[in-house]
Structure formats: C-alpha cells, structure tokens
Amino acid sequence: MSDDTVSPAAVTPGPKPSRYWAGKNVRAIVIGLCLVVGVAAGMGWLMLKSKAPAPQLAAEKLGMSRPDGLLETHSLSQLPRDLLAVPFLKETLTEDFVFYYETHADRLGLIGSLRRIIYEHELKLQDTLIEQLFDQPADVALWRGADGRLKDFLLVMDRGGLAKVLEPLAKVALDDSQLSKLADVKVGNDDVALYQLSYNASKALLFASHGDKLVVLSNPTKLYDPQSGATQESGSVSTQAIAALLNGDKLFPEAFGLQPRAPEVKQRLSVNASVLAMGYQRFIPNFAGLRFDMDDKGWHSFLAMDELDDQPDFDFKPIWQAMPMGASACVAVPLAAEQQKPLLLKLGADETAAQALTEHMAGAAGLCWYADSRLYTPLLVASLKDEDSASLDGELGRLFGSMVGAYEGKVDEHVFPVIEKQQGDNRQWQRQVSSRFGPYAAKDAANPDAITGQAFMNVSLARHGSTLLFSLDDKLLDKALGTLDKRFPPMADVVPKDLLMPVYFGPDAMAQLMQRETLDSLPQDMEPVFYNAAQTYLIPKLRKLGGYGKYALTLPEGTEPDGHWQWLPLQWKAL
C-alpha cells in the first residue's frame, strides 16, 4: 500500500534563493547531491585525511611546483602514432589525430620563426632542425592553466648529436628581433645563457642548453628567481630548477612516485588526480593519479593511490546489486561521509540532518550513466550502515527539502512541494523542479503556468532498506528500485564476481548517449553547419565505438593502498 504526503519542507524551504538559482538549478543539484555521498564525476577514491603528508620533493625545494601531468618519451614525434597503436583509439581517432599535431599553428609558427632566423643570419642549419629535435628522448612536465586544461609545459630533452648544431643560434641572439638573451643560470661552475624566442606575434618560449641537455619553458612569465624574493605560484619554475635539469637531475618522476623511465618503456604518460578530479580533488584525497605505459607488448594502465587513516574495505558488490543492467559507464568509490559534513552545511542542510546522514553512511557509493537517460542525470547509489535505517527518513526528507528546488513561477513565486511515497519499509522523496534540461515539457505539467521556463524534471531520492538512491531522472531511479525488488536484472549479473571493479564501460550504450547529447546540443535549424559536421565526422566514429564489447576496469580483490603514490596495475577485462 502506498501513501503520498506533502513534506513540511515544502512549506518552510529556508532562505529565499535568487531567481538566478532557479534558472541554473541543474548544475547546483548535480554538484550538491553528488557530493552528499562524496562521488566526484569521472573516477576517484573518497576517504578521510591522509596519514602523513607527502614528503617534500626535490623539485619543490628547488622552486618548481608539482606538475599536473608528465610525458616521458623515447621520441616526441612518435607519440601520436604510438597512441594509434591502441585499436580502440585507431578506430576513433584515425590519422587525422596525427596530422592535427603535425600541422598545429604553434608548431608551424615556431618552425617558421627558426627558418627565418637561419635564412637571415646565414646559419648552416638544416630546415629539418625541428623534426630532428622532436625525434629525441624527452621529458615534458605540464601544468594546468586558468581554465583547468593542461597548458604550460617544461621540456627537458637529450640533444644527442644536435648539441653542436644548436650552438650557432647563440651567436645571433644579440642581433635578432625574435631571439634574445634573457639571463644566465649557474650550472656547476658554468654560466649558461637562457634565451627567449618569440613567435606567432604574441607567443614566446625560453630555452637553454648545457652539455647534452636542452630545457624549454613554454611560458616565460612562469620563470622566477628565488633570490629576487618572488613567490612561487602554481606552474612556476625557478632558475635553480632550470639549472638542476640542465645538470641532468631527474626532478619529474619523483613528483609522480616513479623511478626513471626504463629503456624498454617507449612512452609513459602520468596524470595527477588534480586534472582528473575536475576541481574536486580535496574531496578525493585517496586518488593520486593515472598512468599509461607503452612497451613492445603494447599499452598498460596503472592507478596511483595514497594510504589514509581509517581506510574502509573496498567492497563494491552492494553497488552493482542496486545498479540496473545496461549502463553506458559506471564508477564506484569507497565512501567516508564524515568529511562531507561541512559541505552539507554550506549547501543548506541543517546541523541535525547533516550529522544524521554522515553517521549512517557506510561502505561504498557509485554513479552510472544510461543511454535512455541524459549525461547530466546519472543514477547515484550509496550504502547505509544497517538495514534498520527508517530512523533516518525524517532527516533525509528535511535534507532533500532544503537542498533541492528553488523559488520559481511565472505568476507567483513558490517552491513545489516535496512528495513522499512509502512502500513498506522503503521511502521516496520527489520534488518538481523547473529546468530547460528537464525531460518533461512544461505543457505536460499539472499546472503549466507554475513552471519557470519550458521544461521540468522530477528530482528523486529514495531509501530502499540499507541502500540510498538519487537521480535527477525519476524514471531511472524507479528502475533502480525495481532492480532492488528483483524485477529488473542488476549490473552484478554482468560484472566480474571475483575482482574489484571500480569502473565499467559499455561502448555501445555510451555511443548512443553521446550521439543523443551531441545532436540535441546542435539543433539543425539553428546550427546547420555544426550539425552536418557532426553527422559527417562524429557519428561514424561513435558507431565504430559502439561496435566494441563491454569492459570492466579491475583491481585484484583485497587491494588497499600502502604509502604515497602506490601504483597498482589496472586490467581491462572484456565482458
């Protein structure tokens, strides 16, 4: 028997939000509710604070901030083609990926500037200088820019036989509009000149060479001299660090907990969790980074983790039992809700509700996307400590009412009521929220005039025994409830039962989801050029993607981190 009631939260929604919040509620809801249970989009491990701070790196002592990414390669020019050795990437990227980087404007502008210098100063250098440089072993550290993308880089290259070839450039540095000497750095007993090369009108880079090493800094504004009293910023590099790199010191691998690259490893790409966590790194301190190595046997994947206090067991089985079969992609994470209490309070939860939720949360949490839903409406599943969780229902209702929804309406401002549904021991809360991203048209609402905009969604939260579920898509949540009631098959029926699976990927369903999102964002009557381009170039790639089988990204059962930057092998298991 089901009984529907209106929650008191609908009458007393708290401080009156702005109409801007009403118009932008989708992003806020996604961020707020996802962080309630500590799940960051993508991949992460959410824990308590670390046992001990990571040791200070030699690079940090020399004035170089920790990189966000690291590329170690036997040949820069071969990297794009080596990536295409992965069958999946070869099918989806093709040779256009290689040609893009070979004809990039910055690369062509740099080549053009060097050719002009060679020609005007009558230097005996070959036109293939850049190609020869790119065909050398190199280490490239990368830092994020203001937009969060990897942007600035510091390159250290073994020049080999090119050492003598580059020397003539120094002779023209005092007599050229694009090439100039900036400063000297001390390497041992030698004073080494640091040059600035301007190109493409507004861009410049710094470089210096000593012995068999060439160092290139892509952003001259990031260089600073510690003796000048300048403060170290993100992505900054001191003259001391430049000198150490020219002296042959390996400062980059240490920042990622790695030994120097072995000769049999042709390519090694490491990415810090700060890049992958999309700004939520402080909520996932256990996740350190990802790495991809290429040797004669192909590419290999690794996950880096940090050991933390009060580390829970990695048991994701309850998550896969609750998730409906047919997902496009899934991620599961260990959960430590206590760390999220301050965040809940900031998002509008009262002290009692926030404390009750953090005390009851346990085990793991997971997030899945589905082709019959939307990219911004995944299903969230989390575990509670015990089966008898009914005592938490009152606090969950208050928490939901205070965090979901906004004042809205075309005629009078209001908040839609929270509707509670009870089925035996299970409880569900739902609130109608206006949004142009909603799956339901405003005209289909019981009271269309009450909707702000042209669409709405039914945001839903449910407790089924010791399982907590949330989604912006009420149909997806209903399917999950059906899965728990054994009326719909769970993901547990298709995932490995003897391995720890943090990530699931279903290419066919993912291709369907991405195709729908792409075409919906490019209305044919408003964006005919981009729509036709997507139909011509992107959709065929998505169809090829959909032809691949399902995969599980697994770790050995019983995996737990031990120390800082512990690299664990990831296995792609075909299902």
Give the separation between CA 307 and CA 257, rounded to whole angstroms. 13
**Residues 158-168: pLDDT tens digits?**
766 554 555 56
Q: How far is CA 355 from CA 206, 285, 340, in A?
A: 53, 22, 10
Q: Under 8 Å CB-to-CB from 553, ≥6 apart: which residues?
A: 301, 501, 502, 503, 504, 505, 570, 571, 572, 573
Most confident stretch, 193-202, 344-353, 425-434, 472-481: 472-481
Q: What is the mean pLDDT of residues 431-436?
A: 91
> In this predicted model, which residue has the larger pLDDT, 27 or 315?
315
pLDDT tops 60 at residue 218: yes
Query: Residue 335 — φ and ψ, nearest 5°?
Result: -120, 135
Give the separation between CA 378 and CA 469, rounded to whole angstroms. 11
Q: Assign 304 a pLDDT band (cuts: 50, 70, 90).
A: confident
Q: Assign 234 a pLDDT band (cuts: 50, 70, 90).
A: low
DSSP state string for 213-228: EEEEES-GGGEE-GGG
Give the separation between CA 525 and CA 118, rounded to whole angstroms. 51
pLDDT tops 70 at residue 88: no
Short-list 472, 434, 438, CA closest to 450: 434
Q: Under 8 Å CB-to-CB from 188, ≥6 apart: which residues?
A: 247
Give the separation between CA 116 and CA 432, rounded to whole angstroms. 64
CB-facing half-sphere around the CA of 96: CA atoms within 13 A: 7
CB 97 within 8 Å of CB 183: no
Give the separation between CA 545 and CA 89, rounded to whole angstroms. 9
**Residues 257-267: pLDDT tens digits?**
999 899 999 99
**Residues 257-301: pLDDT tens digits?**
999 899 999 999 999 887 876 665 655 667 788 899 999 988 898
Query: Residue 222 — φ and ψ, nearest 5°?
Result: -85, -10
Helices (H), 361-471: 393-403
Containing H/E element for 369?
Answer: strand 361-370
Paired tokens of 103 = 């004809």
Paired tokens of 464 = 């089924």
Residue type, 378: P
Tell how many helices (H) and how many strands (E) occur in the chain. Answer: 20, 24
pLDDT at residue 310 in the model: 62
pLDDT at residue 130 in the model: 56
Bridge partners of residue 3, in order along the sequence: 422
> In this predicted model, which residue has the larger pLDDT, 476 or 29?
476
| Rg, Å, the chain Cα set | 28
Q: Which residue in the block uniquely carries the two structure tokens 């009156």?
A: 16
Query: Residue 386 — φ and ψ, nearest 5°?
Result: -145, 165
Q: Under 8 Å CB-to-CB from 100, ≥6 apart: which residues?
A: none
Helices (H), 307-458: 317-322, 341-346, 351-360, 393-403
What is the CB neighbour count within 10 angstroms for residue 440?
15
Paired tokens of 299 = 């590419």
Paired tokens of 190 = 């030698």
Q: Under 8 Å CB-to-CB from 262, ≥6 apart: which residues?
A: none
pLDDT at residue 481 in the model: 96
Bridge partners of residue 143, in order along the sequence: 152
> In this predicted model, which residue has the larger pLDDT, 38 or 365?
365
pLDDT at residue 268 in the model: 93
The percent of residues in the chain predicted with pLDDT above 90, rounded, is 18
Q: Under 8 Å CB-to-CB from 269, ≥6 apart: which residues?
A: 69, 70, 71, 72, 291, 292, 293
For the chain, which residues make up each domain, given as ranges? Answer: 2-49+310-506+549-574, 58-261
Q: Which residue in the block uniquely carries the two structure tokens 């301050």?
A: 342
Q: Assign 105 a pLDDT band (cuts: 50, 70, 90).
A: low
> In this predicted model, which residue has the larger pLDDT, 57 or 108?
57
Q: Assign 319 a pLDDT band (cuts: 50, 70, 90).
A: very high
Give the separation between CA 451 and CA 362, rounded to whole angstroms. 37
**Residues 124-143: pLDDT tens digits?**
545 555 556 667 788 888 88
User: How many residues in the chain?
Assistant: 575
Give the separation between CA 17 and CA 32, rounded to whole angstroms. 15
Give the separation between CA 380 and CA 369, rounded to whole angstroms. 9
pLDDT tops 70 at residue 430: yes
Residue type, 443: K
Q: How far is CA 468 from CA 219, 351, 463, in A?
A: 48, 20, 5
Query: Residue 224 — φ and ψ, nearest 5°?
Result: -145, 155
Q: Which residue in the block uniquely carries the two structure tokens 């260990």?
A: 334
> In this predicted model, which residue has the larger pLDDT, 335 or 549?
549
pLDDT at residue 461 in the model: 95
pLDDT at residue 330 in the model: 93
Give the separation between CA 292 and CA 84, rounded to whole angstroms. 14
CB 333 within 8 Å of CB 364: yes
Q: Under 8 Å CB-to-CB from 439, ≥6 apart: which residues?
A: 374, 377, 455, 457, 473, 475
Short-list 463, 486, 478, CA closest to 387: 463
Q: Assign 440 a pLDDT band (cuts: 50, 70, 90).
A: very high
Based on the number of CB atoms within 10 Å of its own CB, is 86 exposed (0-12), middle (13-18) or buried (19 or more)? Answer: middle
Q: Assign 432 a pLDDT band (cuts: 50, 70, 90).
A: very high
Short-list 45, 35, 539, CA closest to 331: 45
pLDDT at residue 177 in the model: 61
pLDDT at residue 108 in the model: 53
pLDDT at residue 266 in the model: 93
pLDDT at residue 381 in the model: 94
Alpha carbon dihedral 210, 214, 218, 221, in 10-degree steps, equals: -10
